[in-house]
Amino acid sequence: MPQVLEFKLPDLGEGLTEAEIVRWLVAVGDVVAVDQPVVEVETAKAMVEVPCPYGGVVTARFGEEGTELPVGAPLITVAVGSSTVPQDQPVAVASESSESGSGSGNVLVGYGTDHSRPARRRRIRPAAPAPAPVAAVVPVAVAPVPAAPAAVGPVAVISPLVRKLARDNGLDLRALNGSGPEGLILRADVEAALRAPLPAAEPVTTGASLSPADERIPLKGLRGVVAEKLSRSRREIPDATCWVDADATELMAARAAMNAAGGPKISVLALLARICTAALARHPELNSRVDLEANEIVRLSSVHLGFAAQTDRGLMVPVVKDAQAMSAEALSAEFGRLTELARAGKLAPSDLTGGTFTLNNYGVFGVDGSTPIINHPEAAMLGVGRIIDKPWVHGGELAVRKVVQLSLTFDHRVCDGGTAGGFLRYVADCVESPAVLLRGL
């Protein structure tokens, strides 16, 4: 007798608690191999394929394309132990932790034991006339529903995501009539209510009158994660910013000479990253984080350097691991590789987590300065403005030089202004005279 195993949406990594179904890669009745991708989901950080650790026949799918599911919600059920599933007898559904030899145990997003091409989809066709087709199953409850006040009666909502969407947009669920079974309020009901024009008799204001043409955009996915992370940074970190203008003429000349010598091209960002890692070796206070539970400052031995990359999905911060051990050439290659993956939406969660310091080159947007928000839980961020020709006193005379503004935003708990100023001054000295960096190696 086949056993039906339930595969749930696995833990997606740091800070990722939900994912949206983008595309199903299998249908009910398909035969899947162990570690074959079964669904493509989009998290707040990347687009990934989820491999199923079981091999067998897909008996149910949970959620339609476009549905958001929390971690731990069912994705599919798979009948294992037989190439077909008997339609005339019940089968028991076991959890994914069941001790069965049919699973690989590899349920993390983007990983599996079989790195070959997934098996070709095959649909099992019964020899006898088939009964009614198995329908895709709607998402099931993953958390208990808190009871509403007795005076107004219970609110028919199962999904915590529906409750969160309504709460974030100030929508009273008690005013809705659900379209689901027994009046269940679905996500579509909430979204329809948010799209509906506001009643003329009771205009809602948020400092200014709203128009029916105004657009509501749910704060979810990447924007939702960014909003939560930046808000937490502002709540927890007492940050301060210092800045300085630097003459980058010699740095740009050194880069031109290095690239003219042949070999892989070296980017300006890679040279700035190399300067950053040297500065952090001199001022390790800024490569740290604050452990609030232990009431301690943790100074980190490795520099995992995050850098800002603009993509169609928004601003992302890939992380170059162990940047302190890499040359400018290696850093340039790694920046290029991670940027391409970010723009293609193929970064793994591990590529976006674990940063200890961030290099933010906002000069690519044509601006000179900024006071960025620290990427929590890091302790500092170096900002780099555009490099442009400006009047500058050089050698006692006024000249046109290539000038850049550098800014350092830092957590005032880990160091004082003297340390932050020393770090920024060393970076500026290396920009103005790259030989300073060579002397420190």
Active site residues: 412
CB of 134 closer than 8 Å to CB of 77: no
Cβ atoms of 171 and 193 closer than 8 Å = yes
Backbone angles phi, psi at 296, to 5 degrees: -135, 155
**Residue pair 181/157 in contact by the 8 Å Cβ criterion:** no
CB 80 within 8 A of CB 100: yes
Radius of gyration of the chain (CA): 27
Of 436, 326, 428, 329, which Cα lies nearest the Cα of 382? 428
Contact indicator for 338, 331 with CB cutoff of 8 Å: no
* Cβ(345)–Cβ(359) below 8 Å: no
**Number of residues written out for the chain:** 441
Q: Both tokens of residue 171?
A: 């929508």
CB under 8 Å to 253, separation ≥6 — which residues? none
